[in-house]
């Protein structure tokens, strides 16, 4: 995909979004979690798929206007049909610089990520910032638009740092506890004004 993005972007992004949707709809026990657990954490969601990854591909010219329009339309239909089952309660944003992300990517050395460049990671970082921090991305789903965001500083490595892990977990626990007082998100689909085929 990274070698021929214009050829494979729509195919890859469709597969990716459907995979994330499947993960979100799995029962906790099926996904390896604890059955009956009130909290489920997903690495990525159908919302980051659209408002970060697919949006970036369209703006970079790798998704054609027709492909972007089709993606948005079936995304709208799926989430409208699923209703509250696809609605997020909140987002956790593990924020790290593109340079740091590239270092970690090179360190884990996955063959399929060999073609990833700093420019691509910088564009993804920018989309995350616009969507989750600046709230400047036009989001047509009420629950996703209103969902609170916890910003976590992930610039420093914490894999082998128990103290840093403890501080991050404490932030997450306090955040999740605060969510218990919030109502369950309503139906997530509220079409955005003026959202057209080639809108960002």
Catalytic residue positions, numbered: 43
**Does 133 count as an annotated binding residue?**
no
Q: Please indicate if the annotation marks 182 as binding a ligand.
A: no
Residue 42, annotated as binding a ligand:
no
Three-state SS for 179? helix
User: Binding site annotation covers 107?
Assistant: yes
DSSP class of 93: E
Rounded Cα gap, residues 17 and 63, in angstroms: 15
In 3D, which of 159, 118, 131, 91 has the Cα closest to residue 2?
118
Query: Does 108 count as an annotated binding residue?
Result: yes
Q: How far apart, in whole angstroms, are the C-alpha atoms of residue 148 and residue 105?
A: 28
CA atoms within 13 A on the CB side of 135: 8
Annotated binding-site positions? 104-108
Q: Which residues are annotated as a binding site for ATP?
A: 104-108
């Amino acid at each position: 995909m990274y070698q021929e993005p214009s050829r494979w972007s729509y195919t890859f992004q469709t597969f990716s979004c459907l995979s994330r949707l499947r993960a979100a709809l799995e029962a906790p026990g099926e996904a390896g979690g604890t059955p009956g657990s009130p909290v489920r954490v997903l690495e990525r969601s159908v919302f980051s798929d659209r408002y970060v990854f697919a949006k970036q591909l369209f703006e970079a010219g790798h998704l054609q206007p027709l492909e972007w329009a089709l993606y948005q339309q079936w995304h709208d239909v799926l989430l409208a049909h699923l209703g509250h089952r696809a609605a997020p309660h909140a987002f956790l944003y593990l924020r790290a610089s593109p340079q740091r992300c590239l270092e970690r990517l090179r360190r884990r050395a996955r063959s399929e990520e060999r073609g990833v460049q700093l420019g691509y990671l910088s564009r993804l970082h920018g989309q995350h910032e616009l969507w989750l921090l600046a709230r400047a991305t036009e989001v047509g789903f009420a629950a996703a638009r209103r969902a609170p965001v916890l910003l976590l500083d992930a610039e420093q490595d914490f894999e082998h740092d128990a103290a840093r892990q403890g501080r991050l977990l404490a932030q997450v626990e306090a955040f999740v506890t605060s969510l218990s007082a919030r109502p369950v998100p309503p139906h997530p689909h509220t079409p955005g004004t003026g959202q057209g085929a080639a809108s960002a």
